[in-house]
Amino acid sequence: MADAKKQVHIVLVHGACHGAWCWYKLKPLLEAAGHRVTAFDLAASGVDKRTLEELRSFEHYSEPLLDFMASLPPEEKVLLLGHSLGGMNIALAMEKYPEKIKVAVFLTAVMPDCKHDPSYVLKQDVALGIMLARPCCMFVHDLSKQSAFTEDGYGSVKRVFIVCPEDKAISLKFQRWQIETCGVDQVKELENSDHMPMLSQPQELCQCLLEIIADYYA
């Protein structure tokens, strides 16, 4: 059990076509370690009653996360983790609420920079583009109309990237390219992990996150 003074609030953001359900193995492990964990469905995902046709923009899709971040008390600084396309959701939250985030963790995730519009990173990998071409995942047009994230917002938050070398959806090459192009404060790697380490390697992922907590909440 973690010391009460060091209890961390961990916010888990799922990727495209998933929901809060995908964290069902990881969440109890982190809670058993003494931390507070929040996982929820983004708009039109999981049990959220909205439909894809109702969503007007990527920000609308991200509304549950943004509303949650707005509700946090001023003194609280969460560990914000995004998986896969969830990396773009947490980037938006980082831009709007950098003061409420201690560290952002990109779990084999999409990770934008501060030079190009947010859609740029989504267009750089053919396999990723094919995956995101499904109607339930496609916000590229909307993101292409948005300004680049800023250094004062998104760029001011500490970033950790967790590499999953056996990922077939977001390739190792593309993960490495994002790290080199966008820059991060720390790189971690889950050996032999695939695109869904929260399901295939929950113990290892939990340990990785506990190490990140030790590094950034000491």
For residue 93, the model assigns a pLDDT of 97
Average the pLDDT over 112-132 and give the result: 77
The 3-state DSSP class for residue 143 equals helix
Pairwise pLDDT comparison (169 vs 3), residue with the higher score = 169
How many distinct structural domains can be found in the chain?
Answer: 1
Sequence-distant (6+) residues with CB within 8 A of 61 are 42, 43, 44, 55, 89, 139
Do 119 and 177 meet the contact criterion of CB atoms below 8 Å apart? no
pTM for this model (two decimals): 0.90
Q: Mean pLDDT across the stretch 172-178?
A: 95
pLDDT score, position 132: 57
Q: How confident is the model over 34-88, as pLDDT tens digits?
A: 999 999 888 766 566 676 666 767 877 888 999 999 999 989 999 999 999 899 9
- pLDDT per position as a tens digit, 6-17: 899 999 999 887
Asked if 215 is an active-site residue, the reply is no
pLDDT at 48: 61
- Which residue among 45, 84, 119, 193 is the active-site one? 84
Question: What band does 90 get if pLDDT is binned at 50, 70 and 90?
Answer: very high
The catalytically annotated residue of 18, 83, 125, 167 is 167
Query: Smallest Cα–Cα separation from 81: which of 204, 201, 198, 167?
Result: 198
* Per-residue pLDDT, 176: 96
* pLDDT of the residue at 3: 46
Q: Which pair of tokens denotes residue 45?
A: 């995902």
Q: Is 83 a catalytic site residue?
A: no
Cα 190–Cα 160–Cα 141 angle in degrees, nearest 5? 100
Taking only the tens place, the pLDDT of each residue in 125-143 is 756 665 655 544 557 777 8
Q: Which pLDDT band, with edges at 50, 70 and 90, does 18 fall under?
A: confident
Q: How many helices (H) and strands (E) does the chain have?
A: 9, 6
**CATH value at residue 186:** 3.40.50.1820
Catalytic site includes residue 195: yes
- For residue 2, name the pLDDT band (cuts at 50, 70, 90): very low
Q: Examine the pLDDT at 201 and tell me if it is beyond 90.
A: yes
Element (H, E) at 158: strand 158-163
Domain that holds residue 158: 4-216
- Joined tokens for residue 32: 């058993």
Provide the CA 78 distance to its chain's centre, in angstroms: 13
Tokens of 20: 């809060």
Distance CA 70, CA 62 (A): 12
Question: Percentage of the chain with pLDDT > 90?
Answer: 67
| Whole-number Å distance between alpha carbons of 82 and 189 | 15
Q: Are 38 and 80 in contact (CB under 8 A)?
A: no
Separation of alpha carbons 131 and 104, rounded Å: 24
Number of Cβ within a 10 Å radius of residue 174 = 19
- Whole-number Å distance between alpha carbons of 88 and 215: 24
Is 96 exposed, middle or buried (CB count within 10 Å of its CB: 0-12, 13-18, 19+)?
middle
Which pLDDT score is estimated for 60? 79
